[in-house]
Structure formats: structure tokens, C-alpha cells
Chains A and B, each alone.
Chain A
Amino acid sequence: MKQSIITGASRGIGLAIAEELASKGSDVVLVSRSGCDAQAAAIAQKFGVRAKGFACDVADSLQVQESFKAAIDFLGGVDVLVNNAGITRDGLLLRMKDEDFDQVLAADLRSVFLCTRAVSRTMVSNRKGSIINITSINALRGQPGQANYAAAKAGIIGLTKSNAAEFASRGIRVNAVAPGFIDTEMTAALGVEVCEKYRAQIPLGKVGKPENVAKLVQFLASDDSDYITGQVIGVDGGLNI
């Protein structure tokens, strides 16, 4: 697997995934709303691969079509897509605004549909590809204050399984990765107290790192996992036991 596109790649788990894939020799396209030219340049220099950043709102159909066309041209094809982009707009359902629900569904779920469709034609005609969707432990367990996020992430699981079944005959695998509590800006925003409460519940006794997720994604992207498709695999230190 040599030509990878990663969404939400400017920081956190997405950036760690881009670095991990590049470290194994894959050319990479980093997609994010704000653009990530600096990150792409650093990856190119560090790992000696081709890397480019694209500024794109992955919930916007037209932007996805245009950016992905340019990305596939840059890479000369695409055999790995990592749908990692996601946002949170936490709040209790009693007071959740329509736009908080709709924005999270668009950014976290619709984006996976749009980006997958944008690579599907190339992958189907090449009879090869691996798509990895980043869902969440909260899709499996639910989480107070995250009805929107958990619904979107649970939607990703349905999308993953349907796409896996649809594309299997064309040599394309689709899997989902469900991170638990990982040390990123998204979880840091919850505050020290909440983080500590989580840590106390994790059987392995520590908060996860973006690299823990990236290594599983790398495995699923590679031919080492060529008999695995349609699965949801947790990286959570045992939090979902």
C-alpha cells in the first residue's frame, strides 16, 4: 500500500496515522479544513516520501470531489483511505441545538460517505484498496453529552460493514477502528478532572497515545491484514471490556 489519503490529518490521531504510513514508505496526502502544508513538508523531509496537504471541508460534496481528484492525481492513484476527520459539539440532549447535531453528523458521518465515494471508482477499477474509518468507543457504549457524536460514529460502523460487503468482490477491504480515551486536543478539552476519571476506569491503567491508534491503522492498511474486512477493532486499553 503506497498511496494514502488521510482526513483530519493536521494534528492528533490523523497526523500520527499520516506519519506512521509514511514511515512504512507510503506517499501521503493530508486533508484538513485548515490545510496542513507544514505537516506534509515535515513528513516528506523526515521519511523521504512524497507528501502534500490539501485544505478541504470534508462535509462539502463539491470540495471533496475537487480535492480528491487533485489528491489522486498527485499520488498517481490511491490504495489507502483513512477517514479520520471528526468534530465534537458536546451537550446534553435536553439542550442540544439542531445545528450542533447536524454539524457533527455532517463532519463525522457524511464526510466518510463523501470521501469513500470519491476514492471508490479508482479502487474498484484497480481491484485493490484498504479503507479505514475511525469510529469511537462511544459509538459502542453511548456517552452522556455526546448523542450527536455517538450517533455519527455508530453510523460509521454501519457504513463500514455495508461498504465492506459491497466492495469485497473487488479486493477492497473496509474496517473501522474504535479508539478509547486517547491523549489529543479533543480529549484535553474535557479538562483534567474528567481525564483523570477516565484514566481510573481504563484496565491497562493509562491513557492511550495517537501512535497506538496509528499502528493498528497501519496494519489494516497493509497487506498483512489482507483477510480482515468489515470489522470494528478497539484500541482502548481495555476500556470496552
Chain B
Amino acid sequence: MTQEEILKKVTDVIVAKLEVKAEDVKPESEFGNDLGADSLDRVELVMALEDEFEVEILDSDAEKFLKVSDVVAFLEAKKNG
């Protein structure tokens, strides 16, 4: 998967789970400050990403997801690495 494809898919998941608009989801968007995600939202998001990308995301990895780009970089390494 290209980085662009991953970003598109991650954005779709974020839009569905956090009820935000696609145009508000940018690589530099922070989950807490910009996208309004609380701790339960983050867990739900990680579970949805696991389903969508068919990967396992450890809590220790998920803790490092601050911005959308962190997730994209993680998934890029996981899928292509």
C-alpha cells in the first residue's frame, strides 16, 4: 500500500469513528486537541484500524499515536516493512 492509500483509509476510519469531517483530518491533526478524541475513542479507533488493516496494534504502540501521521507511519511500516 502506498502512503497515500493508507492515509485515505485511516481518514475514512477516523471520520466514521470520531464523527468528524474528512477535510478536518490532516496528517498533522492531533487526536486529542484537533479531533476531540477521548481515551475511549482512541481505543475504539485502534480496534477499528486493526480490523480495517488486519494488523495487531499493541497498546505500547497505540500510546505513541499523537497525530494522524503517526498512525500512517506505523501502518506503513507494518504493512510494507
Binary CB contact string for chain A from 114 to 134 against chain B (1 if under 8 A, 0 otherwise): 000000010011000000000
Q: Assess whether B44 is in contact with A169, with CB atoms less than 8 Å apart.
A: no
The CA-CA distance from A125 to B47 in the complex, in Å, is 11
Interface membership of B40, Cβ < 8 A: yes
The CA-CA distance from A56 to B75 in the complex, in Å, is 36
The CA-CA distance from A166 to B40 in the complex, in Å, is 8
Q: Assess whether A169 is in contact with B40, with CB atoms less than 8 Å apart.
A: yes
A-side binding surface: helix, strand, loop or mixed? Answer: helix
Q: Assess whether B40 is in contact with A170, with CB atoms less than 8 Å apart.
A: yes
The interface residues of chain A lying within 8 Å CB-to-CB of B40 are 124, 166, 169-170
The interface residues of chain B lying within 8 Å CB-to-CB of A166 are 40
> What distance in Å separates the Cβ of A50 from its nearest Cβ neighbour in chain B?
27
The interface residues of chain B lying within 8 Å CB-to-CB of A169 are 38, 40
The interface residues of chain A lying within 8 Å CB-to-CB of B38 are 169
Binary CB contact string for chain B from 45 to 73 against chain A (1 if under 8 A, 0 otherwise): 00100000000000000000000000000
The interface residues of chain B lying within 8 Å CB-to-CB of A170 are 40
> What distance in Å separates the Cβ of B41 from its nearest Cβ neighbour in chain A?
9
The CA-CA distance from A235 to B70 in the complex, in Å, is 51
The interface residues of chain A lying within 8 Å CB-to-CB of B47 are 121
The CA-CA distance from A92 to B61 in the complex, in Å, is 47
The CA-CA distance from A125 to B43 in the complex, in Å, is 11
Binary CB contact string for chain A from 125 to 166 against chain B (1 if under 8 A, 0 otherwise): 100000000000000000000000000000000000000001
The CA-CA distance from A170 to B44 in the complex, in Å, is 11
The CA-CA distance from A126 to B40 in the complex, in Å, is 14
Binary CB contact string for chain B from 17 to 47 against chain A (1 if under 8 A, 0 otherwise): 0000000000000000000001010001001
> What 5 pairs across the A-B complex have the smallest Cβ distances?
A124-B44, A170-B40, A169-B40, A121-B47, A124-B40
